[in-house]
Amino acid sequence: MTKIKPDRFTRVYNSDGTITLYKNGKKDFRGTEADLAVHLGDKPLPAPKAKKDKPLSRAARWAKACAEAISALEELQSLQEEFTNWKDGLPENLQNSTLGEKLETICDLDIEGALSTCQEADGTDVPLGFGRD
């Protein structure tokens, strides 16, 4: 018993606006998009396969992670300033309450130190590898 392989279609868009359709590696059609629909009749053309994205290098991933971390820490620093203003504006009877303790906890976080560490990491010279250093 022989297995029938499914047809493989490749669609190529030409510079003159026409389409060339290859079926199993052989040229099957060349014409406009409208002519292709007539050529195929009721049979839909399979969607082209999505190309896989090339993964980023370690150095690029490092730089991207540093940039995202710095952005997030700057946002946290801005929010921490808002919480500090809120805490400073609390009446004296709420300073020792649960709300005051939670605000104090947020205000005591060392976001500035984490931000400087991320900025230092962003400025490091990352090895490229494979003799490119």
Assess contact for 125 and 58: CB atoms under 8 A.
no
DSSP character string of 26-67:
EEEEEE-HHHHHHHHTTPPPPPPPPPPPPPPPHHHHHHHHHH
Average pLDDT along the chain = 85
First to last CA, the chain: 58
Amino acid at 44: P
Comparing 22-36, 87-101, 111-125, the range with the smallest average pLDDT is 22-36
pLDDT for position 7: 63
Rounded to whole angstroms, how far apart are CA atoms 80 and 28?
Answer: 65
pLDDT for position 113: 95
Assess contact for 110 and 76: CB atoms under 8 A.
no
Statement: residue 130 has pLDDT above 60: yes
Statement: residue 3 has pLDDT above 60: no
pLDDT for position 42: 65
Rounded to whole angstroms, how far apart are CA atoms 83 and 105?
Answer: 10
Statement: residue 127 has pLDDT above 60: yes
pLDDT for position 107: 94
Domain ranges of the chain: 9-40, 58-122
pLDDT digits (tens, 9 = 90+) for 4-61: 555 677 888 888 888 888 887 788 888 887 777 777 776 666 666 788 888 888 889 9
